A = this chain, B = another copy of it.
Amino acid sequence: MVPSTAYRVPDLVARYADMFSAMGTAPRLRIMQLLLSAHPTGLVVGDIQNELDIPNSTLSHHLDKLKNEGLVQIRREGTFLRYTASVDALQELLGFLYAECCTRNKAIKPSGILQIRK
């Protein structure tokens, strides 16, 4: 018996919720901001630590969470680990929000997103 599609389709809403949750604390949102500001080069853990003043073990947990939700990408450079913001994930998330607010339901006018921001 073939299971209904509901079983096979990964729950996108749950996935996006997890992404939002990963950006749902100030330290992690700051990390993402920092990585975006250093895009596409990214930063090594020590740089992030110095910039945000987070203890190494705490920082490692936050980075792990961001990694698990696919929001950052990692590559090794000798003894360093370089983290970069995942453009794909952020684009997906931004696209989801945009679709829900602007495309599907037209609750927000696209022009409203481009606000003056100092």
By a beta-carbon cutoff of 8 Å, the part of chain A in contact with chain B is: 11, 13-14, 16-18, 20-26, 28-30, 32-33, 36-37, 39-40, 85, 87, 90-91, 93-95, 97-105, 107-108, 112-115, 117
Q: Are B104 and A37 in contact (CB under 8 A)?
A: yes
Known contacts A14-B26, A39-B107, A95-B117, then 7 further A-B pairs from the complex at CB < 8 Å, ordered by chain A residue: A13-B33, A16-B29, A21-B24, A23-B24, A94-B101, A95-B112, A98-B114
| Residue in B21, B40, B98 whose beta carbon sits within 8 Å of that of A94 in the complex | B98
What chain B residues lie within 8 Å of A23 (beta carbons)? 17, 20, 24
Interface centre among A11, A33, A40 (most CB of B within 10 A): A33
What chain B residues lie within 8 Å of A107 (beta carbons)? 36, 39-40, 85, 87, 90
Q: Are B11 and A26 in contact (CB under 8 A)?
A: yes
What chain B residues lie within 8 Å of A37 (beta carbons)? 104-105
Q: Are B105 and A117 in contact (CB under 8 A)?
A: no
Distance between Cα atoms of A49 and B37 in the complex (Å) = 42
| Residue in B32, B40, B91, B114 whose beta carbon sits within 8 Å of that of A112 in the complex | B91
